[in-house]
């Protein structure tokens, strides 16, 4: 008999209820951020034969407890701080600084014009050049970005979506020029367009041609760059836009299925591309719910891949993920408090078994991080890894009555959302119907109202405020580089072999109108120093633009 059904447990509950009259609890009911009720106490629920099926040992299907047998006893997660601003030269300096400080992987932030396929001198780029990331117009900028950094040794994550093929092609050409064979490059491109329509907003083309560009990359990398993660299917931004944990989990896995379907429809074999699919989740406030979310994600994906898609390679079943802690929980008020928030969120990601981690800097609700605040963010991870001992056993919260129960519930609730999306014709159709977007907006507004009614406490914002906030020291990005960027692109256009550029772009256009894999043609255009704006422009002409 399960403990919950025993008279021992029932008596305890009655006794406790009687005590409530004298000593009521802090709240009538307790909830996770996804409105899952939190019980007073959790008791054993899984029986022994369910253990293998539902949890499994670490490194064993369904990977609830982790995708590796030894996890961080073998090697700590990759500490990967997202960085980039201003010019390629300036960002190159920040990268070298972070590598010197013990960071183990690079993560490139691109500015918005680059992410949306405009050159720095385009009218649409006004005010945005180099703001949220580094400005990349052509291969020349990319060469400067990685100067003195060997692409054989470093693994690089690039937050790039609609123009992912272009930036990946640039990365490959830089490697080649360094004398590094392309099959050796390691890293990840985000390349997740569906969540751009849902939550992040840096789309260019409509869904159908966007999905084609993605499957072209899958196919090209399987043959040419087998160590490169071809996509990072992202719940991060869905959560930042206001979704709760269950929605983050469900929408991400639904999007993942859409990519698998598209690749299968393009004729790829599942075990060829699935091992290179990576995920990207948010590390949010509700500590145990977050741990449960990561564990549920692994179990759900393993089952989807094995049972629904019939993948045979265990690598196809394993959900590998990067975590960034939640930017939207950072407060502009009393920014030092954010260091504590980040540490706790990062701890949840580690206890959830993340493969890599970005910890936010305390001042990011106000501006880009200063060198000091960026260092504290990295140190936070290093303290968790080296001082707390949490990395010394695999899945330390496994078997916690509460965490196991919550893991089951996350799975159940997320499955309901995925069913709804299936009924709507899958993630691409649901995006078209704005279904996820509306769900997220509703959740975001509910959260805001709960904060304003003080149903949710945000320390320093709606409680424990200071009368006067000291003025924090913020990073000032020197705007003068924009002039240099504009001069450089002008010079590039006059110096490069324009016949070669035009030939490469015409070739690309021809094949974009057909059905060939576009990667080789994009790579040739990049090699001829065609710009991000020019290449995207050709594809805009052929594919059209998505209207949000």
- The site for another protein (CB under 8 A) is made up of 112-113, 115-116, 118, 123-128, 131-132, 196, 200-202, 240-242, 328, 330-333, 364-368, 441, 444-445, 448, 451-452, 458, 461-462, 471, 474, 477, 548
Q: State in angstroms the smallest separation of the CB of 58 from another protein.
A: 36
Nearer to another protein, 110 or 228 (CB): 110
The whole-angstrom separation of Cα 374 and Cα 293 is: 27
State the Cα–Cα distance between residues 472 and 367, nearest whole angstrom. 10
Cβ pair 198, 229 in contact under 8 A = no
Structure tokens that stand for 315 in this block: 């690598």
- The pair of structure tokens assigned to 28 is 């009538």
Which 8-state DSSP code applies to residue 36? P
Specify the residue, 282 or 405, whose C-beta has the smaller distance to another protein.
282
In the complex, the smallest distance separating the C-beta of residue 77 from another protein, rounded to whole angstroms, is 27
CB of 120 to another protein, least distance (A): 12
Q: Is the dihedral of CA 346, 104, 132, 227 positive or negative?
A: negative
CB 211, min distance to another protein, A: 19
Residue closer to another protein, measured from CB, 345 or 355: 345
CB closer to another protein out of 199 and 350: 199
User: At closest approach, how far in Å is the CB of 178 from another protein?
Assistant: 31
- Residue 462 CB, shortest distance to another protein, in Å, is 8
Query: Shortest gap between Cβ of 445 and another protein (angstroms)?
Result: 5
Query: 37 or 127, CB closer to another protein?
Result: 127
Angle at 365 between CA 244 and CA 391, to 5 degrees: 65
Q: Residue 365 burial (CB < 10 Å; 0-12/13-18/19+)?
A: middle
Extract the tokens encoding 224.
């040419």
Q: Is the dihedral of CA 415, 423, 277, 116 positive or negative?
A: negative
Residue 254 · residue 308 · CB < 8 Å = no
What are the beta bridge partners of residue 91?
A: none
Q: In what helix (H) or strand (E) does residue 83 lie, and over which residues does it extend?
A: strand 82-83
Among 404, 399, 400, 394, which residue's Cα sits nearest to residue 69? 394
Place of tokens 């995207």: 536
212 phi and psi, to 5 degrees?
Answer: -65, -45
Pick from 436, 546, 548, 547: nearest CA to 207: 546
Q: How far is the CB of 240 from another protein (least distance, A)?
A: 7
Q: What are the residue ranges of helices labelled H in 310-364?
A: 314-317, 337-351
Report the nearest approach of another protein to the CB of residue 191 (Å).
16
Backbone phi and psi for residue 170, each to the nearest 5 degrees, phi listed first: -65, -45
């Amino acid at each position: 008999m399960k403990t919950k059904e025993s008279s021992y447990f029932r008596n305890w509950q009655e006794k406790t209820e009687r005590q409530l009259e004298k000593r009521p609890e802090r709240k009538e009911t307790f909830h996770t951020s996804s409105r899952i009720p939190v019980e007073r106490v959790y008791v054993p629920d899984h029986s022994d034969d369910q253990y293998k099926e539902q949890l499994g040992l670490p490194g064993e299907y369904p990977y609830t407890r982790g995708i590796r047998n030894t996890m961080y006893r073998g090697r700590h997660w990759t500490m990967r701080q997202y960085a980039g601003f201003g010019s390629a030269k300036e960002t190159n300096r920040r990268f070298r600084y972070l590598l010197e400080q013990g960071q183990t992987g690079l993560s490139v932030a691109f500015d918005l014009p680059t992410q949306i396929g405009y050159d720095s001198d385009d009218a649409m780029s006004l005010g945005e050049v180099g703001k949220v990331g580094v400005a990349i117009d052509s291969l020349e900028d990319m060469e400067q970005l990685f100067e003195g950094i060997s692409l054989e040794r470093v693994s690089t994550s690039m937050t790039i979506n609609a123009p992912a093929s272009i930036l990946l092609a640039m990365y490959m050409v830089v490697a080649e020029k360094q004398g590094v064979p392309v099959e050796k490059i390691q890293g990840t491109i985000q390349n997740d367009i569906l969540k751009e329509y849902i939550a992040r907003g840096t789309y260019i083309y409509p869904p159908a041609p966007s999905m084609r560009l993605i499957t072209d990359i899958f196919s090209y990398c399987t043959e040419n760059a087998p160590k490169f993660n071809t996509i990072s299917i992202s719940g991060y931004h869905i959560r930042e836009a206001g979704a709760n944990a269950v929605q983050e989990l469900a929408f991400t896995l639904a999007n993942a299925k859409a990519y698998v379907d598209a690749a299968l429809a393009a004729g790829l074999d599942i075990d060829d591309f699935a091992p290179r699919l990576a995920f990207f989740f948010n590390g949010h406030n509700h500590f145990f719910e977050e741990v449960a979310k990561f564990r549920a994600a692994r179990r759900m994906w393993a089952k989807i891949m094995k049972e629904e898609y019939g993948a045979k390679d265990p690598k196809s079943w394993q959900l590998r993920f990067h975590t960034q802690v939640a930017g939207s929980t950072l407060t502009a008020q009393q920014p030092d408090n954010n260091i504590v928030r980040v540490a706790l969120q990062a701890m949840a990601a580690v206890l959830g078994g993340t493969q890599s981690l970005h910890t936010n800097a305390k001042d990011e609700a106000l501006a880009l991080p200063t060198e000091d605040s960026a260092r504290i963010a990295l140190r936070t991870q290093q303290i968790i890894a080296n001082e707390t001992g949490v990395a010394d056993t695999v899945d330390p919260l496994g078997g916690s009555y509460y965490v196991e129960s919550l893991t089951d519930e996350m799975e159940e609730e997320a499955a309901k959302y995925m069913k709804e999306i299936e009924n709507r014709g899958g993630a691409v159709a649901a995006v078209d119907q704005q279904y996820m977007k509306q769900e997220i907006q509703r959740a975001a507004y509910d959260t805001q109202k709960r904060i304003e009614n003080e149903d949710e406490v945000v320390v320093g914002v709606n409680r424990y405020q200071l009368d006067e906030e000291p003025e924090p020291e913020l990073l000032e990005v020197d705007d003068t580089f924009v002039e240099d960027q504009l001069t450089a692109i002008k010079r590039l256009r006059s110096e490069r072999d324009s016949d070669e550029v035009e030939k490469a772009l015409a070739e690309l256009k021809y094949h974009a109108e057909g059905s060939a894999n576009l990667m080789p043609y994009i790579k040739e255009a990049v090699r001829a120093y065609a710009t991000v704006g020019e290449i995207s422009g050709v594809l805009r002409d052929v594919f059209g633009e998505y209207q949000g």
